[in-house]
Amino acid sequence: MTSTLDFTNQRILVTGGAGFLGRQVVDQLCKAGADRDKITTPRSKDCDLRQMESCQRAVDQQDIVIHLAAHVGGIGLNREKPAELFYDNLMMGTQLIHAAYEAGVKKFVCVGTICAYPKFTPVPFKEDDLWNGYPEETNAPYGIAKKALLVQLQAYRQQYGFDGIYLLPVNLYGPEDNFDPRSSHVIPALIRKVHEAQQRGDKQIPVWGDGSPTREFLYSTDAARGIVMGTQSYSKAEPVNLGTGYEIAIKDLIELICRLMEFDGEIVWETDKPNGQPRRCLDTERAKQAFGFVAQVGFEEGLKNTIDWYRQHAA
């Protein structure tokens, strides 16, 4: 373990801090000793990080920057807006890193994406395999824009001694997730689909693909805890996966969601729609060795919490 960063009296910028993951990160920072009054969480409407001046204003006087803000969505958005996803994520990240370096920020934490991994990667994904091929086509523009920030942080560390780290959380889920059908990821999309089918009395639900791809999911509070632990105790150039190491096929996932939501209708596979990456599961050993992170929330427990939250807030 490296020395632990003391959050007392540190001014911390959390981009995307008002979002689904961001709110959890702020909570975990406070649990780890940060002062909530010294945490800044700018909203995109007031602070457009695609503009250099906004980045410079945002990092001014900050000690630590945790960059969570992203233009992101599921496979549908990836197909619809690849150019925006590439440009927005690259510009936000690369300018923020440069502005933070120029402003003398002590620690920069960049949260990357699992979409950065090559389409065909030995499972479980090891961080050392990140550059062994091109990402899955539908999410490559987003994945490559985010992966470029890893290169930038490594270059700034090498040339300037800038302490920037890069964390790779697997697909997140949990209460307060994005349930908008146009841009949501798989778990909220499926929960909403089942709920609405139940409301209408439908006896079947359509699901994209053929159910064969596998995914790994990390509960949002676990992800936030991992990010804060990394911020405190990790200061190396190599990227670090954050995950659970638990892999589930989409077919098994939808069956589990139907069981937990007591929906006994038929699942209709839309095999003309894309599957996305064939398999996704992370090797989580580096996070465990480097800063002691191990996920705590079991998958079924996390799903139940997410379903309960959605049912309370669906209206």
17 is in an annotated binding site: yes
142 is catalytic: yes
276 is in an annotated binding site: no
169 is in an annotated binding site: yes
Query: Token pair 């990357």 is at which residue?
Result: 112
16 is in an annotated binding site: yes
User: Which neighbouring-strand residues pair with 103?
Assistant: none
Q: Which helix (H) or strand (E) holds 195?
A: helix 186-200
85 is in an annotated binding site: no
153 is in an annotated binding site: no
14 is in an annotated binding site: no
How big is the chain, counted in residues?
315
174 is in an annotated binding site: no
- Helix 186-200 with 299-313: angle, nearest 10 deg: 50
Instruction: Compute CA distances 104 → 5, 10, 44, 200, whole Å.
Output: 16, 13, 23, 56
CA–CA distance, 301 with 164 (Å, rounded to integer):
34
185 is in an annotated binding site: yes
18 is in an annotated binding site: yes
Catalytic residue among 101, 117, 142, 173: 142
57 is in an annotated binding site: no
268 is in an annotated binding site: no
131 is in an annotated binding site: no
Cα angle for residues 240, 82, 215 (degrees, 5° grid): 45
Phi and psi torsions of 170, nearest 5°: -75, 180
71 is in an annotated binding site: no
Cα angle for residues 218, 283, 297 (degrees, 5° grid): 25
195 is in an annotated binding site: no
Phi and psi torsions of 88, nearest 5°: -60, -45
Are 194 and 263 spatial neighbours (Cβ–Cβ below 8 Å)? Answer: yes
Cα diameter, the chain: 62
Name every residue whose Cβ is closer than 8 Å to that of residue 104 and which is 6 or more positions away in sequence. none
Are 190 and 211 spatial neighbours (Cβ–Cβ below 8 Å)? Answer: no
93 is in an annotated binding site: no
Structure tokens at 223: 């992800």
Enzyme catalytic residues: 142
**Residue list, annotated binding site:** 16-22, 146, 169-172, 185, 193, 208, 215
**Residue list, annotated binding site for substrate:** 193, 208, 215
**Residue list, annotated binding site for NADP(+):** 16-22, 146, 169-172, 185
